[in-house]
Amino acid sequence: MSDKKLDIALNIEFEKAVSRVNAHTEPFPADTLLKLYAYYKKATNDYGRPRSREPIINAFKTNALFQAKKISEEEAKRMYIDLVNNYFLYRK
């Protein structure tokens, strides 16, 4: 498969994972939520500052982003997808 086809497949898989997370109505565990946040931000190149009203939440989000700073956009998408798939796999 060509690189372009792999990129398209990865993007489709990533968007499906994002949709699953957005459609989920129960709260995620805090550690999972922070990883999802950091991977999503890296995957989408969104480096804006966390915008919670609670300073402590902003601190946790900033820390999660710091921990994910050395991963690439592609890696972040894969890690996000894996985290979502594993989360829902073990919820049944």
Enumerate the domain spans of the chain: 3-89
Mean pLDDT of the chain: 92
Would you say residue 91 has pLDDT above 80? Answer: no
Q: Give the model's confidence band at 22: pLDDT under 50 very low, under 70 low, under 90 confident, else very high.
A: very high
Cα separation, 42 vs 77, whole angstroms: 8
10, 80 Cβ separation under 8 angstroms: no
CATH number, domain 3-89: 1.20.80.10
pTM above 0.85, yes or no: yes
pLDDT-based confidence at residue 1 (cuts at 50, 70, 90): low
Looking at the predicted structure, is the pLDDT value of residue 92 above 70?
no
Nearest C-alpha neighbor of 64 from the set 52, 88, 12, 11: 52
